[in-house]
Amino acid sequence: MVSLISNPSRSSDEIELISDEISHLLDISPDPSILVSNPALEILAVNASMSELTGYTRKELLSLHLETLLPKLLSITQDPALNLELHSIQGRELDLITRRKLKITTSVRANTLGKSKRFTIFRLNILGNSSRRNISAALESSQFDGILALSQVFYQTDLDQALDIIIQVGKNMLSAESLGIYKIDSNHPQLKAVILDNPSNFLPPTISTADFFSHYKDSQFSPPYKPPLSPLMERAAQMGSSFVISSPLDDENSISGLIVAMGPSDSYPPERQASLAAMKLLVAATEGVFNNFILNSNLSDSLTKTALKKAIGDTINKYTPEGILYLNPELLIEQVNPSAEQILGYAEQEVINRHIDDVVIGTDRLTPALQEALANIPTHDLGQLKIHHRDGSEFPALIKTFPVTKPDTEEIQGILIFVQDISKEEKVRIQTQQLERRALVGQMNAIFAHEIRNPINNISSGVQLLEKILPEDFQQRDVLKGINDDCDRLTHIVDTVLTFSKSQSYHKNPIDLPGLIGQILNRWVPRMKRTSVTHVLKVEPDLPYVLGDERALGQVFNNLVSNAVRAMEETDGGVLSVRLKSIQKITGATGIQIDVLDTGPGIPLEAQDHIFEPFFTTKSDGTGLGLSITKQIITMHEGTITLVPLPEGTSFQIILPGANEEELKE
């Protein structure tokens, strides 16, 4: 400040003013004001509003010439007509040059002090009151339009589109050149621009978190005449932006981002309160959009998970082999799955709203379990029950009951009943027991056969010795021969039993199956000629090899040919046909199908289900083990043998796996 020292040599009307008092008097005025000396227009004192408007400190302003701030003022004061206008109530419109060389159009009014008119006070009003009212009215109108436009952001399905609306509305409401929305980057200590409309590159792409928490935690409005107090204000000063407005974004009471607007270089800053109000509106819209899309995203994820759970539940309900029935608390059926329909024999529409006792019939243990379920007690196993199918047939079942409650409460909503038909399992269990018993019988047979072999041999040897020592005319020699024949037959049976009971070890090698079967048929040709039996062998070209034990497979086909020839002897001859062809199995592997057919009397219908059972035979002199051994050998070769019913005669179909290239190399 300039200090005006009193001069005692001057008259009382020329007493000089004290600078501190002048400064305090000027500060009372809300308008930017300057006290100058006449006629040199030297700045003697300024108020705080003038310092804020220009961006200079008071000390810096006292060192400037008035023409530096108001370049055209000197020429106006020298022109009497224009000077008169300057001293009028309306004042004179002049450009004020700020510290940052920005032009601000102001209305300047001059008031001369004292009778000698040695001092003048210049008071500045930016644009005048009417211009301010016009700008405020325009800003208020744009804010109303902005509110209407911002209401559309919540109807957008795309986040980028919603943010773009906020950016465009914000630029219009604030008359901004650039506007950006920043969010805190969780991976780096910075705020990163989510969306940026920045044609003049006023705004940076990132803002450090240190700068953010130091300068931007609160809303800011920085016109060009304020000293730059933050990096954004310094950037605005360097690039010529007319103003900076910023406001933080809140996310659940914690700061999560920032909105920044910068004005163009050739415009006036907007009114402070209106601008901050507009920024507050933009912040609310932005926070709402982010929260809305986060909520929608979470809701979408939740719906996706719910849909997935429902799809999983529907799939389980549809494809599980267990029957599922859902009952309401009155024990009325509300839903059944396809397995329950199949197990019980009822269609879903037939049992809806029917009492469970009308559908699951045949047990009195279900009712207590249902009462326990209504008391929120599950029953995981009622044990094996016998219940009835719709057609009246009875089948074994396992039943479980589970209460269904509301989430987070114990209120019963219904009961789930799981019904499992265990008929197949029960059949397998019975078959397993039978197999175990047969295995035990087989072991006993082997032991028995082994134990009686020696006595039979002793009897046979004794009979042969008697035949030698008795005279030729012995009358009971036929009896001895019968005993010897019976011993031979018993020996054959014992050997067969031992063969069947004893586990065989097979040495598998590639076998030319047509060649093996051809050799067997050739050995039977003499007997077939004697019994008027002819044979046919048909082989498909390029038939693959079979990996197997040649001795064991030879026994299989020799047994089948023997049975066929003996059967056709009873009908005075016939035709034996053997056909071999390649097939594609369900698994995709190659197999060989062998069909052995004869035109004999066939196998009685009542015997067809038992022909592969041990010791079952339709012949008076048979052991009943031939086909059992045959099936055993085929099974050990991973094949199958089945009896194919024919109107006349007998047909056996055998399928064996073909050997692949790797097996042939081995």
> Each residue of 480-499: pLDDT tens digit?
777 877 777 677 666 666 66
Q: Which of 79-88, 505-514, 522-531 has the highest mean pLDDT?
A: 522-531
Mean residue pLDDT across the chain: 81
Q: Mean pLDDT throughout 23-28? A: 77
CA proximity to 400, closest of 386, 383, 376, 423: 383
User: Does the pLDDT at position 134 exceed 60?
Assistant: no
Dihedral (CA of 82, 87, 93, 98) sign: positive
Q: Which of 99-108, 251-260, 485-494, 593-602 has the highest mean pLDDT?
A: 593-602
User: Does the pLDDT at position 156 exceed 90?
Assistant: no
User: Does the pLDDT at position 438 exceed 60?
Assistant: yes
**Other C-beta atoms lying within 10 Å of the C-beta of residue 558:** 19
**Other C-beta atoms lying within 10 Å of the C-beta of residue 522:** 10
Q: Mean pLDDT throughout 524-534? A: 88
Backbone angles phi, psi at 14, to 5 degrees: -110, 15
Q: Mean pLDDT throughout 195-210? A: 89
According to the model, what pLDDT value does residue 578 have?
93
**3-class DSSP state of 344:** helix
Q: Mean pLDDT throughout 240-268? A: 82
According to the model, what pLDDT value does residue 662 have?
65
Is residue 32 within 8 Å of residue 49, measured between CB atoms? yes
Q: Name residue 396's amino acid.
A: P
Q: What is the CATH number of domain 509-665?
A: 3.30.565.10
Dihedral (CA of 158, 160, 163, 167) sign: negative
Q: Kindly state the percentage of the chain with pLDDT values over 70.
A: 84
Q: Name the CATH superfamily, with its identifier, for domain 133-296.
A: GAF domain (3.30.450.40)
User: Does the pLDDT at position 3 exceed 50?
Assistant: no
Q: Cα separation of 230 and 245, whole Å?
A: 12
Q: Cα separation of 373 and 140, whole Å?
A: 68
Omega prior to 223 cis, within 30 of 0: no
According to the model, what pLDDT value does residue 526 have?
85
Confidence of residue 296 (pLDDT cuts 50, 70, 90): confident
According to the model, what pLDDT value does residue 129 have?
45
Beta strands in 355-449 (DSSP E): 384-388, 394-405, 412-421
Q: For 330-346, how does the pLDDT look when each residue is reduced to its tens digit (9 = 90+)?
A: 999 999 999 989 989 99
**CB-based burial label for 462 (10 Å; 0-12, 13-18, 19+):** middle
The answer, as to whether pTM is greater than 0.85, is no
Strand order in the sheet with 574-584: 533-539, 574-584, 590-598, 650-657, 640-644
More confident residue, 659 or 6: 659
The position carrying tokens 């693959």 is: 544
Q: Which of 311-320, 403-412, 571-580 has the highest mean pLDDT?
A: 571-580
Is residue 245 within 8 Å of residue 261, measured between CB atoms? yes
User: Does the pLDDT at position 544 exceed 80?
Assistant: yes
- In this structure, what DSSP letter does residue 531 have? T
**3-class DSSP state of 316:** helix
Q: Mean pLDDT throughout 586-607? A: 85
Q: Kindly state the percentage of the chain with pLDDT values over 90.
A: 14
Is residue 64 within 8 Å of residue 56, measured between CB atoms? yes
Bridge partners, 252 (sequence order): none
**CB-based burial label for 399 (10 Å; 0-12, 13-18, 19+):** buried
Q: Mean pLDDT throughout 550-554? A: 85
Q: What is the CATH number of domain 12-126?
A: 3.30.450.20
Q: Name the CATH superfamily, with its identifier, for domain 320-421.
A: PAS domain (3.30.450.20)
User: Does the pLDDT at position 599 exceed 50?
Assistant: yes
User: Does the pLDDT at position 23 exceed 80?
Assistant: no
